[in-house]
Amino acid sequence: MDPLKDSARAIARDVNARTTSAAEVAEALIPHVERVDAQLGAYLELTPELMREHARRVDARVAAGENLPLAGVPVAIKDNMCLTGTRTTAGSKILETFVAPYTATAVQRLLDAGALPIGKTNLDEFAMGSSGENSALGLTRNPYDLDRVPGGSSAGSASAVGGFEATLSLGSDTGGSIREPAAFCNVVGFKPTYGRVSRYGLIAFASSLDQIGPFARCVEDAALVYDVIAGKDPLDATSVDREVEPAAGALRDDLRGVRVGVVKEFTLDDLDAASRAVYEAAYADLERLGAELVDVTLPTAEYGLATYYLIAPAECSSNLARFDGVRYGLRVDGADVGEMYERTRAAGFGPEVKRRILIGTYALSSGYYDAYYLKAQKARTRIAEDFARAFERCDLIVSPAASSPAFRFNAKSDPVTMYLMDYYTIPGSLAGLPSLSVPCGAALPEDGTRPMPMGLQMTSPLFTERALLGYAHAYERATMHAEKLTPVA
């Protein structure tokens, strides 16, 4: 067994069979991560002693006869999810010293299943960003080119798995924050249906959009994680009380009889030639696997960005009001309470967070609520209805996960240019749909010297995670794109 490169299923199988131990996995991984992360910067905090402690518990449980689905599997946690006794910063100075007093439900379910926590991963501050460049606490690099971004906001979670610093990781996706970095880092990134996974213990950005999901190096491992973390949680009123169909044992090897929708509005014509060729080849591979490509339309998709960048900032301005220097986190004293609030938030929040708070506060303000926020919510409903009509003609919708390969640091300093990176991922998020990115090849960037990974986005109807993972598995097994690239870190 090679705990640095083996799949989660293989590691759990061997630990459960006692042909190796969780302790051995931990001792193999800890020095490797410490060495590699000096280049990648995927982690904000490593937790080697906590990892060893959980390894001892896993080995004791296995020795007592338990069979754990993730026994001894190393996992990284995005640092906007609470893990008792660890710093939980959300990549922000305002929470730089905050230590979590409890553990997020999704994280706890992983630990209960036998996973070993390696550490907390870097992210765009409060998960606001598409590149990973907005973290106030460090820079994360792409494992396939250290001069390029890993994608965001789940930058460290994607980079850690892509750079073989973790077998699995958890991220959160509000408008594409799992799928885009997965595409950039040559891994699978999966966002389940909104409400399918508990958000308890996740630091909120936009509560009606945020969803926790896994990163993995193969679809089967992503399905294993999904089976563990999905399901109703009484601690989260937005989690859905609906039976979870296990996915890991129901994966498929072909796409015969599957109708795959290609969205008219998601044209490839605007992409550079190298990226367009990758996606055209991916669509051809789907047909080769037996799928029928059908044209579908999402007439309101073009309003996705405008809709999202009203709803998400509005919810962000409300959620981040709690960070005021009174109860926890950074506090900068002032002459009175008002000045203390002002100084604390000025010092604690970065430029992108401040920008979105201002946008959201304006959209919710008296006299503008109906013109902006209410209209955006109506547009969101129309987008969801368009998806429902499209799925009457197909079982699955495919599109690019991102409009280009990973770009160089500081290449998109204009906020609007950065927001446009989310064009393909945001509509599905607004509709609450399950969606994932699976490696689909590599393209040479116009300013690059080596091909960079790209991801194919697959989206399916609400609560069809089992089918979606099956489709992705069939494509992955037939193409094996992830295995054709080697990280440089």
Task: Determine the residue type at 255.
Answer: L
Tell how far CA 222 is from the center of its chain. 12
Number of neighbouring beta carbons within 10 Å of residue 173 = 29
Give the CA distances from residue 304 to residues 144, 177, 319, 336, in Å, rounded to whole numbers and listed in that order: 30, 16, 22, 42
Question: Which residue in 92, 130, 153, 404 is the catalytic one?
Answer: 153
Measuring CA to CA, which residue among 94, 75, 98, 74 is closest to residue 86?
98
The verdict on whether 5 is a catalytic residue reads no
Question: Which residue in 21, 157, 177, 429 is the catalytic one?
Answer: 177
The verdict on whether 153 is a catalytic residue reads yes
454 within 8 A of 189, measured Cβ to Cβ: no
Measuring CA to CA, which residue among 56, 48, 62 is closest to residue 23?
56
H helix or E strand, kind and range, residue 166: none
169 within 8 A of 158, measured Cβ to Cβ: yes
Q: What single string gives the DSSP state of each residue in 367-411?
A: TTTIIIIIHHHHHHHHHHHHHHHHTTT-SEEEEESSSSS--BTTT
Question: Which residue in 21, 78, 399, 429 is the catalytic one?
Answer: 78
Q: Give the pairing of strands 188-191 and 168-173.
A: unpaired
DSSP E strand boundaries for 223-331 = 259-263, 292-296
Cβ contacts of 143 within 8 Å, gap of 6 or more: 40, 150, 159, 162, 163, 164, 185, 186, 487, 488, 489
How many residues comprise the chain? 489
Catalytic residues: 78, 153, 177
